[in-house]
Amino acid sequence: MTNTYNIDTLNYRGYFERVFDMDWNEFQRLFYLRYFAGVDDYDVGFVALNKLISLFTHEFWLYSLIADLIFFVPFGIILYRYCTRTSQIMFAFIFYISLVQIFFLGGARQMFSLGFDLMAFLAVIDKKRIMAIIFFLIGMTIHFSSLLFALPLLAIWFDLKPSLLKILHAICFIVFPLVLAFPNQMIQFMGNTVGMEKYAEYGANAVQGGSETFIFLIEALSLFTLLAIKNKDLLANRNIRTFYVMAPLLTFFAPLIISNGSMIRISLYYHLFLALLVPFAIDCAFSKSIRGIAYTAAVGALSLLSLSGGGLTYYFFWQV
């Protein structure tokens, strides 16, 4: 297990060390200011989780390990449950290294939040709806952007019809040029809708995010799933239908990164699931005789993408 060591990691070390001497009365004050007085926008759940971990250890490498486990354990359960062949596992692993790991960058807060969202994802699939709500709310108090994970959870909860999912996916491609043309307005609208000035400012104070290559890859993979996975496949296989709810969402939200690189925080909640959705699409699109070739090509392309990234220094969790 590794953590990327950068300025974000140092910031999270600082956050962790600051809660050592914080008493629970201070936490209650922050909770009141955030959720009742509405005068603060800090995610109090992250403070509480840091404080809880500090009761057991002050070692930052153990803190990093806990962050990794909260994400990787539910993610591993999802892969173990839904990958039926070694080729699927290999693709999922290489996809994670190429298009997911790079965006964590040692940042514990969203890793914690996404981990709880994955727990909610598993719980709602298993019809444990109370647990799903609890995990989701915990994740949202750690990183408020996690609120957007309510969309796929509700789609799975109400088991949207395959035909509706396909229509929504196609519509998201139709409006893709509009999202690409007006990302700042979209970001401001989303931030203002939930009453979060901090997030609205990402659109008001846009920083050219670039990453056209990332957007092209995500949209290309999404288009492949749209064409490869037919309505009959969604009707016949509930597992495919469950993961397909992410396809319209990642198609719609991925272009926002063109305005501000920080918007990868939104896309990450959805494009993570391409790690399994693409293998499902390969199985639907190709006969058994040539699936091996398709997986080899996909794994090879992502491996080249990963190796060409460069510029990152990795440390084991006990070295941070």
Shared domain check, 169 and 148: no
Shared domain check, 143 and 202: no
User: pTM, whole model, 2 decimals?
Assistant: 0.89
Shared domain check, 198 and 122: no
Shared domain check, 163 and 231: yes
For residue 317, pLDDT over 70 is answered with: no
Show the tokens assigned to 2.
Answer: 């590794």
Flag whether 76 is in a domain: yes
What letter does residue 85 receive in the DSSP assignment?
S
Q: Cα angle at 33 between 31 and 34, to 5 degrees?
A: 65
b/e burial code for range 144-182 (CB count within 10 A of at least 16 → b):
bbbbbbebbbebbeeebebeebbebbeebeeebeebbee
What pLDDT is stored for residue 303 in this prediction? 82
Where helices occur in 160-211 by DSSP H, the ranges are 162-181, 183-193, 197-204
Shared domain check, 178 and 134: no
Flag whether 235 is in a domain: yes
Q: What is the pLDDT of residues 20-68, one digit of tens each?
A: 988 888 888 887 787 777 666 678 899 899 999 999 999 998 998 899 8
Flag whether 80 is in a domain: yes
For residue 157, pLDDT over 90 is answered with: yes
What pLDDT is stored for residue 105 in this prediction? 53
Sign of CA dihedral 17, 21, 24, 29: negative
**Under a CB-based contact definition with an 8 Å cutoff, are residues 181 and 237 in contact?**
no
Shared domain check, 177 and 126: no
More confident residue, 99 or 70: 70
Q: What is the pLDDT of residues 210-257, one digit of tens each?
A: 578 889 999 999 999 999 999 999 999 999 999 999 999 999 999 988
Shared domain check, 172 and 141: no
Q: What is the pLDDT of residues 160-198, one digit of tens each?
A: 999 999 999 999 999 999 999 888 888 887 877 765 556
- Amino acid at residue number 252: F
> Which residue, 57, 69, 80, is CA-closest to 116?
69
Flag whether 134 is in a domain: yes
Flag whether 301 is in a domain: no
For residue 90, pLDDT over 50 is answered with: yes
Q: What is the pLDDT of residues 275-303, one digit of tens each?
A: 999 999 999 999 998 999 999 999 888 88
- DSSP H or E stretch at residue 153: helix 150-157
Shared domain check, 164 and 142: no
Flag whether 305 is in a domain: no
Q: What is the DSSP string of 213-254?
A: HHHHHHHHHHHHHHHHS-HHHHHH-HHHHHHHTHHHHHHHHG
Shared domain check, 194 and 175: yes
Domain membership of residue 62 as a residue range: 1-90+103-158+312-320
Q: How many domains does the chain have?
A: 2
Place of tokens 């709806």: 129
More confident residue, 186 or 120: 120
Flag whether 202 is in a domain: yes
Count how many residues are written for the chain. Answer: 320
What pLDDT is stored for residue 7 in this prediction? 57
